[in-house]
Amino acid sequence: MANAITIFRMAASIVLLFCPAFSPVFYVFYIMAGLSDMLDGFAARKTNTASRFGARLDTMADYVFVIVSLIKLLPVIRIPIWLYVWIGLIALIKVINIISGFAVQKTFMAVHSAMNKATGLLLFLLPLTIPVFPLKYFAIVVCAAATFAAIQEGHLIRTREPAGKGGYETTYVLRRLSDMNEYTAYCGLDCEVCQARLATLNNDNALRQQVAREWSELNGVEITAEMINCSGCRVPGVKTPYCDSLCLIRQCAMGKQMETCGGCPEMNTCEKLSMITGNNADALHRLMTV
């Protein structure tokens, strides 16, 4: 079902090529294609039919939709010079974020933040507003949101602020631009940004105490700061007591000699794994792109 929705998005995007820009039929297919982008992932998770093929198909459909939209819209809208300059500055900030992030973290990082998602939604809505409002008015809103998102993105990438500080734990996810690496856990979680690993890496006792307190409250058991030592799920070195001997997913994957759960034929039906991937789209994405 999810793949069918994704294929529909590609078909709707191709139909857009033959529709006059800003015509009623153009908007019908534009909106249907945009909505399908939200529905296919939801359908895949709800029907437990997520797959690596589906992830690649979704990415391909996204590229087709964006490229077709640009082909149809750019020739018929007049973009003022100041807007080109503003867009260029946003792009420059994002390039600086990537470069400075690599300098600080020694790896390329990306941010999935609430503001980035909001900016994406505003960009999707922008063509819908052009017949009603002059481009410059809504473009100011979009560019302002994109500028704030880019600045916030740079701050998060360069500082990798610990979860729980400033309320960011519900608004962003840091991950490598390369989805799969040695710090990807068997379940798809990103050990590279795990607070236990960061506390171990930096020998940060204050962070150990913070993580122990948070994990104790979350799990309803006593976890001490001395337990917060971990080098990563799949890399050699120390592990937390849970990761070392209590994590059923890790024990299962190691027993089957799997690199990750992404290579397991039971991935889509595993109840243990679904407790992670059902609540963490990035973990599922990493496993599907192994």
The neighbouring-strand residues paired with 173 are: 112
The token duo for 7 is: 């294929």
CB atoms within 10 A of CB 85: 10
Confidence of residue 162 (pLDDT cuts 50, 70, 90): very low
Whether pLDDT at 32 is above 60: yes
Q: 75-133: per-residue pLDDT in tens?
A: 988 889 999 999 999 999 989 988 887 776 556 666 667 788 889 889 999 999 988 88
> What's the token pair of residue 91?
């792009």
Strand segments (E) across the chain: 109-113, 172-176
Q: What is the pLDDT of residues 41-83, one digit of tens each?
A: 777 666 656 666 776 788 888 889 999 998 999 898 888 999 9
pLDDT score recorded for residue 110: 62
Angle at 176 between CA 158 and CA 146, to 5 degrees: 60
CB 108 within 8 A of CB 178: yes
What does the pLDDT read at residue 17? Answer: 92
Enumerate the domain spans of the chain.
1-76, 79-177, 191-288
Q: What is the pLDDT of residue 178?
A: 46
**DSSP per-residue letters across 144-179:** HHHHHHHHHHHHHHHH-PPTTSTTGGGTEEEEESSS
Query: Which tens digit of pLDDT belongs to each residue from 208-225?
Result: 999 999 999 988 889 999
